[in-house]
Amino acid sequence: MSSMSRRGFVQVAALAPLAVKSLSLGQKAIPADHFDIVVAGAGHNSLITAAYLAKAGYRCLVLDGRPKVGGGVKTAEFTLRGFKHDTCSSSHSGLYDNPLLRDDELGLREYGLEYIDPDPIIHMPFADGSYLTQWRDLDRTCAEFAKFSKRDAAMYRRMYADYESVKHIFQAVAFSPVGFGKPLNDRLAEHSKGKFWQRRLAMSQWEIIRDNFEDDHCRAFMLTSPWANQPAQNPMTGRLAYASCNQLTTGRPLPKGGSGKLAEALARLIEAHGGVILTNKPVVRLIVENGKCTGVECADGSSFRGEKAVLSTIHIKHLVDMAPREMWGQDFVDGVESWQADCQVFVTNYAVTEPPQFSVAGGTLSPVHASLLAGPERALRFAFDYAIGAANIENPPLHVICCSVADPTRAPAGMHTLKLLGYQPYDLKEGPHHWDEIKEQVSEANLKYFRQFSPNLTDDKILAKVVESPLDIERQNPHNWHGAVHAGSQGPAQSGALRPMPGWAQHRMPIPGLYQTGATTHPGGSVTGAPGRNAAMVMLKDFGTSIEEVVKTSRK
Ligand SMILES: Cc1cc2nc3c(=O)[nH]c(=O)nc-3n(C[C@H](O)[C@H](O)[C@H](O)COP(=O)(O)OP(=O)(O)OC[C@H]3O[C@@H](n4cnc5c(N)ncnc54)[C@H](O)[C@@H]3O)c2cc1C
């Protein structure tokens, strides 16, 4: 599968079966100091950075501590053979806006990446037997709101139009490194409705929804996805009130074959351009020589040098311990110490013999995505439970994901994968380790609540399950520090020029030669690839070229 290239380093043939198995220096004669860039951690963001750098001709070595690349973008058969579960993310909505995919900048689709766009986008059943379904069609979705309130339907249409008119501004900010181009407020100031948006962004999500929607079903629907990000009543969460409007255009795309197909395609692209990927290589130390970061050392004692740079996606809480404190500077250390986790999830994955069936007029509906939220009050209660460290199993807000409905390759014929994702704090009053004692009970409570809406999934339909508490989510990937699905809170204190901390938001770290990408950097977590592409922009600029140049050359 691998061969020695003319340039004298290990090269993996394009479109070869995925070469992400662990190699060691003993097995392959890779000179330890023969790479331009060493990448520590192989989440989708750092793989994207490495893909642009490899396209630019830099020799990249990517190291990951786990047996498989991808981090939160991974698929595995961990319940039963043939059932392909996404270990974390399933929907890649944010990536659709990334020029990497939108403009196919690197020809990624040639490496086995294909997306499915489920319709309906999401279905929300209510305890009173009613439901609201979001379809890819605006009129059809507005008709769903109109079942509850014609006024709310008109408001949804108006909010959708308002959001569409400024969406390009949010995208431009997300897909630019901090300091590259104008900041959000300046861009909004140039827009005809800029003042309206400046106020909206400063408001809370709840204020906007409460003031503009009269019916509680519609309000609950408008609160669906955002509770995973920040409490709806927090100031400066106003943009989340528009999350479902944004979702109407992007949908909730799924990679065919599993979320991990994205990471696999990126790995193939990197290998096809001379890169090497080694797994089971936890990085434990940064090598700093003459004040410059020149490489990394792994837990097994192996070390690797990058002649030009080291790129990390190691969580900043761990990174800071990998070089002497004085090298970071006090501002950086203070920024790390005050970093907040927030937003933790609780997941049970099932192998099942049939998909969830929700009652709708004239029969049942089996969507890929469904959302359960008892009402607006339950969403507001969420912040309180987190604050007091309580695992609340009363009417638990749940996200129900059954990818195999739209993608039969995920399970044996006629069978399905099912994920029930709830929201629970990592820091329980009794301490995070208490999760090991109560996780089965919480999982059962989630299943019981879910069955009120989808009674067909009785015990005989469940073949196997795997439960993961917020503590388990941290155990599977150290980048999910304290179980945080986005590596840390995405509130105003950790956003934009403050992510990961003031003064260090441009992917360049205080130690020369060291760059940072991933969810701890702007614009944060989720599968957007924005931190990855933005880091590539900064690094390429520092190397005397540009992302535009690389894309232009790669298209020739
Ligand atoms: C249960 C769950 C469901 C989710 N669902 C969605 C969803 O549907 N849609 C969505 O957009 N987002 C979702 N997310 C969030 C999303 O998965 C993450 O925000 C995203 O994957 C972060 O990507 P990343 O590239 O920044 O880092 P990660 O994916 O976290 O990758 C970091 C990598 O670095 C490696 N690493 C860390 N430390 C070291 C070290 N010291 N040495 C070597 N390697 C190291 C890790 O092994 C990992 O491979 C979900 C998250 C969870 C937990």
> What residue owns the CA closest to ligand 1's atom 34?
41
Quick check: 2 pLDDT over 60?
no
Q: How confident is the model at residue 17 (pLDDT cuts 50, 70, 90)?
A: very low
Residue at 306 is within a domain: yes
Q: What is the arithmetic mean of pLDDT over 153-169?
A: 97
Looking at the structure, do residues 287 and 307 belong to the same domain, yes or no?
yes
How far is ligand 1, taken at its centre, from the CA of residue 332, in Å?
23
Looking at the structure, do residues 537 and 492 belong to the same domain, yes or no?
yes
Residue at 213 is within a domain: yes
How far is ligand 1, taken at its centre, from the CA of residue 252, in Å?
18
Of 228, 250, 272, the last residue of a domain is: 250
Of 217, 250, 283, the last residue of a domain is: 250
Looking at the structure, do residues 164 and 225 belong to the same domain, yes or no?
yes
Looking at the structure, do residues 272 and 302 belong to the same domain, yes or no?
yes
State which of 64, 278, 318, 533 you would mutate to test the pocket of ligand 1, scoring each by most atoms of that ligand within 8 A of its C-beta. Answer: 64
Q: Exposed, middle or buried by CB within 10 Å (0-12, 13-18, 19+), for 548?
A: exposed
Residue at 438 is within a domain: no
Residue at 146 is within a domain: no
Looking at the structure, do residues 200 and 227 belong to the same domain, yes or no?
yes
Looking at the structure, do residues 20 and 49 belong to the same domain, yes or no?
yes
Secondary structure of 79-147 as H, E, C letters:
CCCCCCEECCCCCCHHHHHCHHHHCCCCCHHHHCCCEECCCCCEEEECCCCCEEEECCCHHHHHHHHHC
Q: How confident is the model at residue 382 (pLDDT cuts 50, 70, 90)?
A: confident
- pLDDT for res 6: 26
Q: Tell me: the pLDDT tens digits for 431-490? A: 999 999 999 999 999 999 999 999 999 999 999 999 999 999 999 999 999 999 999 999
Looking at the structure, do residues 9 and 36 belong to the same domain, yes or no?
yes
Residue at 501 is within a domain: yes
- pLDDT for res 34: 79
Q: What is the arithmetic mean of pLDDT over 141-145?
A: 98
Q: With beta carbons less than 8 A apart as the criterion, state whether 94 and 527 touch.
A: yes
Looking at the structure, do residues 280 and 334 belong to the same domain, yes or no?
yes
Quick check: 318 pLDDT over 80?
yes
- pLDDT for res 42: 98
Quick check: 225 pLDDT over 90?
no
CA–CA–CA angle 165, 166, 172 (5° rounding):
135
Residue at 111 is within a domain: no
- pLDDT for res 53: 98
State which of 89, 92, 499 you would mutate to test the pocket of ligand 1, scoring each by most atoms of that ligand within 8 A of its C-beta. Answer: 89
How far is ligand 1, taken at its centre, from the CA of residue 461, in Å?
31
Residue at 521 is within a domain: yes
Q: What's the rounded Cα separation, in Å, for the pair 17 and 10?
A: 16
Q: How confident is the model at residue 553 (pLDDT cuts 50, 70, 90)?
A: confident
CATH classification at residue 526? 3.50.50.60
- pLDDT for res 230: 86
Give the predicted TM-score (pTM) of the model.
0.94
Looking at the structure, do residues 230 and 271 belong to the same domain, yes or no?
no
Q: Which atom of ligand 1 is nearest to the CA of 322?
A: 41
Q: How confident is the model at residue 228 (pLDDT cuts 50, 70, 90)?
A: low
> What residue owns the CA closest to ligand 1's atom 5?
89
Quick check: 356 pLDDT over 50?
yes
- pLDDT for res 23: 39
Task: Pull the structure tokens for residue 236.
Answer: 């400066």
Q: Tell me: the pLDDT tens digits for 258-313? A: 999 999 999 999 999 999 999 999 999 999 999 999 999 999 999 999 999 999 99
Of 195, 218, 250, the last residue of a domain is: 250
Residue at 303 is within a domain: yes
- pLDDT for res 20: 36
How far is ligand 1, taken at its centre, from the CA of residue 87, in Å?
10
**Cβ < 6 A, ligand 1 pocket:** 40-45, 63-66, 71-73, 88-91, 94, 282-283, 313-314, 318, 345, 347, 473, 477-480, 485-486, 518-519, 525-527
Q: Which atom of ligand 1 is nearest to the CA of 483?
A: 53
- pLDDT for res 524: 96
Q: How many CA atoms lie within 13 A of 409 on its CB side?
A: 13
Q: Exposed, middle or buried by CB within 10 Å (0-12, 13-18, 19+), for 502?
A: middle
Q: With beta carbons less than 8 A apart as the criterion, state whether 248 and 136 touch.
A: yes
Q: With beta carbons less than 8 A apart as the criterion, state whether 212 and 200 touch.
A: no
Looking at the structure, do residues 335 and 309 belong to the same domain, yes or no?
yes
- pLDDT for res 323: 98
CA–CA–CA angle 129, 466, 366 (5° rounding):
30
Residue 297: partners with Cβ closer than 8 Å, 6 or more residues away: 283, 284, 285, 286, 287, 303
Q: With beta carbons less than 8 A apart as the criterion, state whether 138 and 157 touch.
A: yes
Looking at the structure, do residues 549 and 497 belong to the same domain, yes or no?
yes
- pLDDT for res 31: 53
Q: What's the rounded Cα separation, in Å, for the pair 470 and 56?
A: 39
Q: Which domain holds residue 198?
A: 156-250
State which of 39, 88, 347, 528 you would mutate to test the pocket of ligand 1, scoring each by most atoms of that ligand within 8 A of its C-beta. Answer: 88
Q: What's the rounded Cα separation, in Å, for the pair 108 and 112?
A: 8
Task: Pull the structure tokens for residue 343.
Answer: 């937003």
Q: What's the rounded Cα separation, in Å, for the pair 267 and 39?
A: 12
Reduced to 3 states (helix: H, G, I; strand: E, B; else coil), residue 182 is coil
**Phi, psi of 24, deg, nearest 5:** -125, 160
How far is ligand 1, taken at its centre, from the CA of residue 476, in Å?
10
Looking at the structure, do residues 164 and 246 belong to the same domain, yes or no?
yes
Q: How many CA atoms lie within 13 A of 137 on its CB side?
A: 4
- pLDDT for res 18: 37
Q: What percent of the chain has pLDDT over 70?
A: 93
Question: What mean pLDDT value characterizes the chain?
Answer: 92
Q: How confident is the model at residue 335 (pLDDT cuts 50, 70, 90)?
A: very high
Counted domains in the chain? 2
> What residue owns the CA closest to ligand 1's atom 14?
89
